[in-house]
Structure 1
Amino acid sequence: MNRETTNRIRFVLEDILPPFVRDSGAFRWAARRVWGDHITHLAKFRERAPFLSAEEYAELYRKHPRVHEGTDNSAACISRILGSIAGESVCDIGCGTGSLLRSIQATHPGLNRLTGVDFVIEDASRLPGIEYVAAKVENLPFADAEFDTVICTHVIEHILDYRQAIAELRRIAKRRLIIVVPREREYRYTFNPHFNFFPYTHSFLRAVHPVPPAFVCEDIGRDIFYSEKRGAAD
């Protein structure tokens, strides 16, 4: 299933169904017909978020079924990301299978450094010319302003301490920071292990406060695309 399809499904589930239905036992029963007990595990996961151990966090992600084929990004978001890259070094935080890295490599052959980071990198498809680093976004093993462009898609919604994560992304970005998160509402029963929910673009701008003078924040088909200019001139 691609991102465009799941966004259409999310529109019905999040904006059409009334909240009392989405949070009801009836919805949980219907969702269990599709996903089994995992839908209940996800609800308990969010309820216990402040008290989870690192192993509990990792275990849920190991068992979580992959919804999208290859990438969580829509074609429109990928196009926007590729057109916003600045400089000669790029780091993709939360690279997953490496799908976005492959697109960047194909469309920006002049890059002198391309790096993918995830807390588990076994899923990444290894390609020549791309380095892979296992790390958490809240504590990145890079120097200040080490990469011209830093990209982080569909990660912030999963991070409990998302302000620390955003601070780290800003710290290692020299010219451009790009973040993509889903535009979604919180309900008790959802199909993703998300902690943070941003129903509007201005909801996300509060999350990245203080917002710098040069930024873009827009809705792209139920995903929020955010880009900010860092210290160096383009």
Structure 2
Amino acid sequence: MNREMTNRIRFIIEDLLPPVLKDSSLFLWAAKRVWGEHIVHLAEFRARAPFLTDEEYAELYRNHPRVHAGTDNSKACIDRICQSIVGESVCDVGCGTGALLTSVRNTNPGLARLTGVDFVIDDAAALPGIEYVAAKIEALPFATGEFDTVVCTHVIEHLLDYRQAIQELRRIARKRLIIVVPREREYRYTFNPHFNFFPYLHSFLRAMYPIPKSYQCVDIGRDIYYCEDRQSTL
């Protein structure tokens, strides 16, 4: 299933179903028909967010089924990201399988360095010209301003300390920072292990405070695309 399809499903579940139904035992019963007891584990995971150990966090993600093949990004978001790359070095934080980096490399053949970062890189495809680093986003092992463009898609919504993560992304980005998050609402039972929810563009802009002079924040098919120029913060 691709991102475009799941965004259509999310529209029905998140925006058309009333909250009283979404949080009900009836919805839970229906959701169990699709994902079994995992839907309960996800609800408990969010409820216990402030108290989770690193081992519990990693265990859920190891057992969480992959919904999208290759990437969580829609084609429209991938195209926008590839067109927004500046400079000669790119770091994709939360790279997953490396699918986005592959698209970036194919559309920007002059890049000198492509780096993918994830806390587990076992799923990353071994491709020529792309290096992978296992690390947590809250403490990235790179120098300040080490990459011209830093990209982070579908990661911020998973992090308890997302402000520290944003601070780290800004620290290692020399020219441009690009972030993509889903535009979604929080309910008790969802199919994603998300901690943070951004139903509107201004909801996400609050998370990015302080906002630099040069930035973009737009809705791309139920995903929020945010891009800021780091030079404008100097």
Alignment TM class, shorter chain as reference: over 0.9
Which ranges in structure 2 are unaligned for 5 or more consecutive residues?
A: none
Distance 1:96 1:75 in 2: 16
Partner of 2:225: 225
State the one-letter code of the partner of 2:118: D
Whichever residue aligns with residue 25 of structure 1, its letter is S
2:130 aligned partner: 130
Structure 2 SS opposite 1:5: helix
Deviation at 1:181, TM superposition (A): 0.1
| Amino acid paired to 1:198 | F
Change (3 A) 1:147 1:232: farther
> 1:115-167 CA distances to partner (integer Å, 9 max, x unpaired)?
00000000000101111000011000000000000000000000000000000
The Cα shift of 1:232 comes to: 7.4
> Aligned Cα RMSD in Å?
0.9
Show the counterpart of 1:109: 109
Distance across 2 between alignment mates of 1:65 and 1:166: 26
- What does 1:36-51 correspond to in 2, within 5 Å? 36-51=36-51
Separation in structure 2 between the aligned mates of residue 128 and residue 43 of structure 1, nearest angstrom: 40
Deviating above 4 A after TM superposition, structure 1's stretches of 4 or more consecutive aligned residues are none
Distance in 1 between residues matched to 2:155 and 2:23, nearest whole Å: 24
Do 1:183 and 1:197's aligned partners in 2 also have CA atoms closer than 8 Å?
A: yes
The one-letter code sitting in structure 2 at the alignment partner of 1:144 is: T
- Opposite residue 70 of structure 2, the aligned amino acid is G
- Given that 2:98 and 2:124 are in contact with CA atoms closer than 8 Å, whether structure 1 keeps it comes out as yes
Structure 1: 5+ residue stretches without partners: none
The answer to whether the 8 A contact 1:76-1:220 is kept is: yes
- TM-score, structure 2 length as denominator? 0.99
Number of residues of Structure 1 aligned to a counterpart in Structure 2: 233
Q: What is the identity, as a one-letter code, of the residue corresponding to 1:46?
A: R
SS of equivalent to 2:41:
helix
TM-score normalised by length of structure 1: 0.99
Give me the identity figure in percent.
Answer: 75
